[in-house]
Amino acid sequence: MSSRRATLCSRNAHKAKELEQLLPGWTIQTLDVDAWPPEVGETYYENARAKAEFGRRVGDVEQWMLGEDSGLEVAALDGRPGLQSARYAPEGAPAIAKLLAELDGVTERRARYVSELVALSPDGEEAHGSGEVAGRIGDEPRGDGGFGFDPVFLPDGEERTVAELGDDWKSRHSHRARAAQALLVALGIGLLAGCGADKDTMGEVLDSFYAKTPRAHTFAAHFPHKPGSLPCTLASKDGPLRATCAADVSLVKHDRAVITLTEAWNHGALAHTWFFFVHRDGRIDSVVEEGAPAPHR
């Protein structure tokens, strides 16, 4: 996506740094406040949304607000610590020691990481994404990377902990990476809708692509606009600006596509294009931008 300044509604600098790497072109800072509202939501989404709304009330009105809630759910502990992960014990060694003590002698060690991301624009528009990673809890902490429970979490198919796998693995496979990828997809749909596409039709088409159905083969034909442009209005500091917006989809392979979004203004003299390289399961390989910065971003 284009360059954005955002505030992560959290004190956790580790998460802010990780999200800055996961959201191309974003500059993310933490929210500097003394008092925080209690987390009383019954889901990760409710907590993430509440954090973003709190940031919208007290933070910089010109910045995007990001709310993130995540947790570790352990099957043998009936899903605990779950929503209480951040309050389970002091982060790091104390929390890991408590978890291993609770699992002492337990052979069933299945677990999963869950993350929910909610983004609120300066105008209050919302996009969100969810991600999770299944795995198991190891017998002892290993590795120096990551944070939280990473030294004892072994993802399915791996013999190393997340702390051993390191930041490169996390940037592609972690629960937060998957939530960020889903958020980028949601923001991409929002961009298309802003270009005059029918949101319901577009959602149906994207759903059919991500759902791994044969309809993916006719994805381009069913896309709301064929190659070409539609009139749209961009919000600039000098007032509404007439522009043209184009969207196209090209199937690279049966399970991959490139979504191309282009905005042009000044009678076509200036343009900005986003290329989303996506899989039909929702994963994004990369997001590439070309051209002049769009005036409303």
Q: Which residues are catalytic?
A: 69
Contact (Cβ atoms closer than 8 angstroms) between residue 119 and residue 66: yes
Measured distance CA(284)–CA(265) in Å, rounded: 28
Rounded CA-CA distance 58/283 in Å is 33
Using alpha carbons, select from 120, 123, 151 the residue that is nearest to residue 138.
Answer: 151
CB contact at 8 A, 280 and 217: no
| 126-162 CB burial, b ≥16 within 10 A, e <16 | ebbbbbbbebbbbeebebebbbbbbbbbbbeeeeebb
The terminus-to-terminus CA distance of the chain in angstroms comes to 10
Spatial CB neighbours of 166, under 8 Å, sequence gap ≥ 6? 143, 145, 146
Q: How far is CA 45 from CA 29, 74, 114, 154, 196, in A?
A: 21, 19, 11, 25, 28
Strands of the sheet containing 256-265, edge to edge, are 230-236, 239-253, 256-265, 270-279, 284-291
DSSP E strand stretches across 121-181? 126-137, 153-155
CA separation for the pair 70, 191 (Å, rounded): 27
CA 96 to CA 2: how far, in whole Å? 38
